[in-house]
Amino acid sequence: MKATPLSLSIASLQQAYRDGMLTPLQVVEQVVAAIADDSHHAWIHRIDIDTLRARASALMARGPEGLPLWGIPFAIKDNIDLAGVPTTAGCPDYAYTPEQSATVVQRLLDAGAIAIGKTNLDQFATGLNGTRSPYGACRNSYNPDFVSGGSSAGSAVSVALGQVSFSLGTDTAGSGRVPAGFNHLVGLKPSLGLLSTHGVVPACRTLDVVSIFALTADDAQQVFAVAHAPDPQDAYSRATPAHGFDFGRAARWRVGVPRADQLQFFGDAGYAQVFEEARARALSLGAELVEIDFAPFQETARLLYEGPWVAERYQAIRAFIDAKPEAVFPVTREITLGGAKPLAADAFAAQYRLRALAQRCHAVWSGIDCMLLPTSPTIHTIETMLAEPIARNSDFGYYTNFVNLLDYSAIAVPMGFRPDGMPCGVTFVAPAFQDQPLLHLAQRWQHALQGKAATLGATGHTAVPMAPVQAVPSGQVQVAVCGAHLEGQPLNSQLTSRGARLVQRTTTSPDYRLVALPDGKRPGLARVPQSGVAIEVEVWEMPVREFGSFVAGIPAPLGIGRTVLADGSQVPGFICEPAGLEGAQDISHFGSWRAYLQSKVR
């Protein structure tokens, strides 16, 4: 099995479609050829070629207008419904054929995406390794002797091998992150309820989310923008509130990392080394590393396979497993039937314990914007996994199991490779509804990777630029400052007292004039038609609710207008009324207010 000869990243395909180099019909032909004999056991059901041709032809007749995913092939984990195609959840005897697609699938189809088929998984989404399937142990895209990660095994491998552009998985304990880490992919675990789970076979309904696997963070962003929306058919659906400070685009951001004595790699020096490189990478992107006590998160993680959450797995398939226990994969049966034993009192006791741990965990966020963690401490061969299926599976959840229990969002991103060539990823974790900052950070992170680490999955292709897509409003507003509001200057507290954070230091476009106002305390900035220069500015971000009071306190002749930055973008920023420029000293040649002030003290 080999990847398609073309790059299936969404940006690459869309460019090829625009240039007339490819058509959706040609893409489905190449995708079907690339899947071939499926030697990696990534697929359970593939749509027949005639149906795919008909879908592609219909899209070509319709045209791409208004269809953001026009002609983009994708895969669906086989615990998520696709109309007219059996849903097995990895268990042939459980299979049913839905009349309607899951809400999230239908949104993607309505956006022009092409469903190629259903992918292999750890049966009933119980596992993090990808071997617990009667359809065959799913094999890693880099080395078939190693596990793929699970439970969304085939969803990850099909993307990593370049057979589809993106895929849907599910994530209850790390199933949307661990396979991403093992296959050099981006894996978005959204906040609970942002992607509908209507039409998804549950594992733990209170924790389950639909996840997205993609070759790039840009692609994940575009899919998320299409897929997320409230759904009245999903009792756990939630509307997306404003996400707050966008640390993903900030010049400085605070990232929590476990203390050295709390890191665990189970003797895997290669994974440990890659995580050290990730810490250095974060520093190079402006992060302040803050050591955190990881103990309450570890304690929370251990709750996942106790009391109510194992019972919830049992409840999800209770009628089926009670009637046909022999139809369930042995290790899955052992785990699931264990959920029949806890009492209701045990469930309440575990909930109380979770609440107490959550208070300790949530306190950490006052000092950090996100966490940086290894996606997994290590990886195992399929042989090692099958020899100790429960213990070795538990290894993979060391840094993932707490996330869903605490209602956090997370994104797994590529980082590097062990000496033997196996991928090692890292994961950023943040509170609920910080999906957008996480996506922005993942985009920035991936764009900074170099060499082999910059390749997409196991395809050998590299990324091409994509136009920005904004999926979730921030509830923040940016403002460019050039004088007394700069960091360290007398009026900077007017920003920080309103919760503003520094996003970037940059310059204006080269068509501005800077003057010193007569009071000698403030500059004035004005855009001019000729003989302008670039002026240094800082861009700060504050909550929208604070912006009005900030603007109201600005005395004449200054005000807020639009400032054009060096990259051509525009943000609200300080401007000077024309009357204020009259008789003012032109200090444009200094290039910044700070340089002007320094010249006065020399």
Which amino acid is present at 71? Answer: G
Residue 174 DSSP one-character state: S
CB atoms within 10 A of CB 40: 25
The partner residues of 431 in beta bridges, in order of sequence, read 408
Strands 558-564 and 114-119: unpaired
How far is 523 from 413, CA to CA, in rounded Å? 43
Strands 186-189 and 166-171: unpaired
- Taking the alpha carbons of 146, 150, 154, 156 in that order, is the dihedral positive or negative? negative
Residue 339 DSSP one-character state: G
- Taking the alpha carbons of 144, 149, 155, 159 in that order, is the dihedral positive or negative? negative
Residue 55 DSSP one-character state: H
What does the buried/exposed string (b/e) look like for 151-170 if buried means 16 or more CB atoms within 10 Å of the residue's CB?
bbbbbbbbbbbbbbbbbbbb
Strands 370-374 and 585-586: unpaired
Tell me the residue ranges of DSSP E strands in 432-495.
476-481
CB under 8 Å to 19, separation ≥6 — which residues? Answer: none
How far is 137 from 387, CA to CA, in rounded Å? 13
Q: Under a CB-based contact definition with an 8 Å cutoff, are residues 274 and 417 in contact?
A: yes
Which amino acid is present at 220? Answer: A
The CA-atom distances, in angstroms, between 144 and each of 148, 174, 400, 452 are 8, 21, 24, 19
- Could you list the active site residues? 77, 151, 175
**In sequence order, what DSSP letters do the residues of 183-227 get, joined into one string?**
TT-EEEEPPTTSS--TTB--SSTTT-EEEEEESSHHHHHHHHHHH
φ, ψ (nearest 5 deg) of residue 132: -90, 65
Q: Under a CB-based contact definition with an 8 Å cutoff, are residues 424 and 452 in contact?
A: no
How far is 149 from 128, CA to CA, in rounded Å? 5
Strands 570-576 and 408-417: unpaired
Which of 197, 187, 65 minimizes the C-alpha distance to 128?
Answer: 187
What does the buried/exposed string (b/e) look like for 286-316 if buried means 16 or more CB atoms within 10 Å of the residue's CB?
ebeeeebebebbbbbbebbbbbbbbbbbbbb
